[in-house]
Structures are given as C-alpha cells and as structure tokens.
Structure 1
C-alpha cells in the first residue's frame, strides 16, 4: 500500500512539474535588495525593492496563470533599531562582571549564614559556671536522683486478661 502511494506521489509530481503555467520564477537579488519575478510581474512592476514598506505577500502574475497557480512570496523586513553590535571586549566584560557578581553574592550569603565561632576567650558569665547543677556529694546515701514514690495505683501493674467462656466461634 505504501509503495503505491509513493509511486502515485512521484507520478503527480512529475505531471505537475511539466505544467507550463509554473514557468514563473521568483528570485532575490541580494546585492541590490530586489525581489524579481521572471516571466511575470508583481502588479505593474517586474521587481520590488526589499524594504520595510514592502513587507507582505506578493504574487508573481502572468496571463497564463490564475491566482491559485501563480507563485507567491511572503516578504518580512524587520527593523534593526534595537540591535547592538557586540565585540569580543564587550563579551568578556559582561562575562567577567557576571563571575565577580556571582562570587560577591556567594560570599555575602556564606558570611550571613555561617555559624558564629567563639571569639576571644571564655567569658565565664553563665549561671552554671557559678554553681554546680548536680552536686557530687549528696546526703541521701550517694544517690544522685530522688527515689520514686512507693504508693501504687490501679494501673501500676498489668493484670492478665480473662478469657470469656461465653464467646461463640464463627
């Protein structure tokens, strides 16, 4: 199936290329900035000057072709008012400034976010420096911590769960 479609496409292309109405040709003269219609005219003229005013769709017409078969050219001329010229010095200046700015921003972030280090000597102004939090010698027999209360509650111990004999198995 694909081979038949390809052969049909080649046959249609060959027949279409022999059509005498396609002898019109549009070319561009780059030195003089002209769009040239060989074998026909763009309206009243054989060529069009390429500039900002002549942007649009232009059709090369002759007596042998109608509007559908005549070649067309879309001309778009963009203004270059906002363009700048870059030389190698300007490129290196921009790249160097970018590297320096990135390094400065990184240094500033590191300086702000870094953990403060101890400065100078030990100041000794904390309350724990003035008195011992846990005394090493205790009058209660050398035990550092207080003993727990000796009374018990109903939830102090776990009781074994009783099995219910009235349960029915499924």
Structure 2
C-alpha cells in the first residue's frame, strides 16, 4: 500500500509540473531597441519599443493571468535620456575649435608682452637721477661710532638712562 501511495504522489507531481506554464521572462533586442516579454505581456502588449516616452518601470505578467507578487514577476526599468543639447562633432568643427584656441592664446600672449615690455623712454626709470650718483646715507660713522644724530641741547626725561640702586631686602630669615 505504501508503494502505491508513493507512485501516486510521483505521478501527481509530474502531471502538476507539466500544467504550469514556463515563467515569464524579459529579453532585450539591442539592435532594434525592443523589450520582449516571453510567456507574458507588458499590460496589453507582448513587446515594447524603448524610447523616451516609455521611460519607467515595466512588469512582465504571465499570460495565464496568475497573480504575481513583486518578487515573482520580472521587472524592467527603462530610462532613456534626451540628447537635445549635444552637438555633432565633425572634422571641420574640431579644426575650427583648435585653430580658434591657438589664435586666442597667441593674442593674449602678445597683449601681455606689449604691456610688460614697455620702452624705458616712456617715463620709466632712466638711471640718471641725482640719487643714483651719490649715496643718500653715509655708510661710515662720522664720530664715536654713533649711528644717530645728537639731539643738540634738547633733553628730555628719557634721553639718558640712569642706573637704579638695588633695594635691600628688609626681611630677614
């Protein structure tokens, strides 16, 4: 009897596994930019063209209308970015950008050279002033090694330094 029940269970599992359709899958044809739902549908369509209007998350639901949870049905996120602000870079545009860059760099270099390399006859330093011919401050000390000029007869409280007397410590030990 045990053997009959075991064979019956094996037979039921084999029949049950043949009844379930294969799970839904998503395939991508990169050549044509088409997303295909095998054994299922994206809403009411079998396939979907990937373009800017179809951006978003699309779920491939099985054809047998079986309930699918978020984990059991495959999803595809389509995000197409617009290329409206791109330019076409042909060889002529590339050459014009390079030549323009070289010309602007040369123009800026020429302007800096003109400003920095001014002639000395325009009022710049000529090198023949009276201060160039004589020393403004004598380097040798005239008398006694004093660097400073004496104050003549003017004296003030701080003109001379007086030695201070040391105060005796009145505390005895």
| Mapping for residues 88-127 of structure 1, pairs under 5 Å | 88-112=91-115, 114=116, 116-119=118-121
Which structure has the greater CA radius of gyration? 2
Count the aligned residue pairs: 130
The alpha carbon displacement at 1:51 in A equals 2.2
Partner of 2:13: none
Give the C-alpha shift of residue 22 in structure 1: 8.9
Alignment check: 8 A CA contact 2:22 2:39 kept: no
The SS at the match of 2:96 is: helix
CA shift digits 1:68-114 (9 cap, x unpaired) = 321111112233333221123322321221122123223323433x2
Matched, 1:84 2:87: yes
Please report the TM-score for the alignment, with normalisation by the length of structure 2: 0.58
1:155–1:53 Cα change, 3 Å: closer
**TM-score of the superposed pair, with normalisation by structure 1:** 0.59
Matched, 1:165 2:168: yes
User: Structure 1 residues 67 and 150, CA, compared in 2 at 3 Å: closer, same or farther?
Assistant: closer
Cα pair 1:24 1:39 within 8 Å, conserved = yes
Structural RMSD (CA)? 3.6
**Ranges in structure 1 where 5+ consecutive residues have no aligned partner:** 1-19, 135-146
